[in-house]
Amino acid sequence: MSFGSAYFTLPKFKYIKPRSVDELLNYLSEYGSNAKIMSGGVGVIAFMKERLISPDYIISLSDIPELKKVKNDGETFEIGANVHLSELEYELVRKTVPTLFKAVKNIADPTIRNMGTLVGDLAEAIPWADAYPALLSLDASLEVMKKGSSKKVPVNGFVEGLGQINLKEDEFISKIIIPVRKMRGTYLKFANSSEYGLATVALTYLYEEERFNLVLGSITEKPIVINNADVNWDFKSDLSKNIEKLNAYIDSNVNPVDDLLSSSKFRKNIIKYLTLRAIKEVFSYERN
């Protein structure tokens, strides 16, 4: 990830390593406007070297045990703010939230996944990143804390644009919360000589509720969420008829960006191809 800068050193900053969430919240309330939270540091360190940010304080999450937990109580699947991406590459995650498992596998390479966290990938707010579309398809929420209070906010709407998130200076994300339901899901990514995708598709099908969320990522500044109601999907009808309706919807409503990496037309063709593959993978499957 380089923005072509000539800097290779870090600017001066004070490094703070709280041992508990309460201690962290005190620091945030005192230094919030001059501080940056750091989970894995993959993005923070790169952005500081590029002089895109120069905070006076870096507040590390690495010594707070509470933020390193993954919890599944059958109702919700919760991922702490300092859980590394590689810690989500195991069987329980694949069975419980398959869309997320497959998205994580598509992020960068094992070295980056060992350092980076899911919360960090989301909070970095890169429009081409993989965490946000996958979490949108899963109806995920965030626990946002500040000194004296905490609230649960939907992931939908959290990323406002490149580098912009819906979070105040004295707040931080303590965990990601995903409702556990019977589901099938997939995540497909088309990348061309870059770790980030030119087009991505996250699909989560809740077969007991007969509904799905299809999220088209990397083709516009914010991911596009399409659900079964948007396309009048008829679960009792032929898959091919439903696919026709979905294609018609994408043709009329989805306008990918045109940039140096790809034309809008190419991205649209790719997104339709990935959508078709995702639908076939998730729906051509015996229910169990």
* Binding site residues, ligand FAD, CB under 6 A: 1, 36-44, 46, 81, 107-108, 112, 115-117, 119-121, 123-124, 129-131, 167, 172-173, 195-196
Q: Cβ 163 to ligand FAD, closest distance in Å?
A: 8
Contact 89, 104 (CB under 8 A): yes
- Give the separation between CA 105 and CA 88, rounded to whole angstroms: 9
* Closest CB to ligand FAD: residue number: 120
Token representation of residue 214: 């299809």
Q: Cβ 233 to ligand FAD, closest distance in Å?
A: 28
Please, which residue, 107 or 202, has the CB nearer to ligand FAD? 107
- Residue 286, SS3? coil
Please, which residue, 1 or 70, has the CB nearer to ligand FAD? 1
Q: Cβ 212 to ligand FAD, closest distance in Å?
A: 22
Contact 191, 168 (CB under 8 A): no
Contact 85, 107 (CB under 8 A): yes
Contact 171, 144 (CB under 8 A): yes
Please, which residue, 163 or 179, has the CB nearer to ligand FAD? 163
Residues in the chain, overall count? 288
Q: Cβ 131 to ligand FAD, closest distance in Å?
A: 6
The DSSP element (H or E) to which 182 belongs, if any, is: none
Short-list 63, 98, 83, 72, CA closest to 185: 98
Q: Cβ 252 to ligand FAD, closest distance in Å?
A: 29
Short-list 278, 136, 270, CA closest to 198: 270
- Positive or negative: CA dihedral 65, 71, 73, 78: positive
Q: Cβ 210 to ligand FAD, closest distance in Å?
A: 30
Pairing of strands 57-60, 35-38: parallel
Please, which residue, 187 or 233, has the CB nearer to ligand FAD? 187
Q: Cβ 184 to ligand FAD, closest distance in Å?
A: 22
Give the CA dihedral 26, 28, 31, 35, nearest 10 degrees. 150
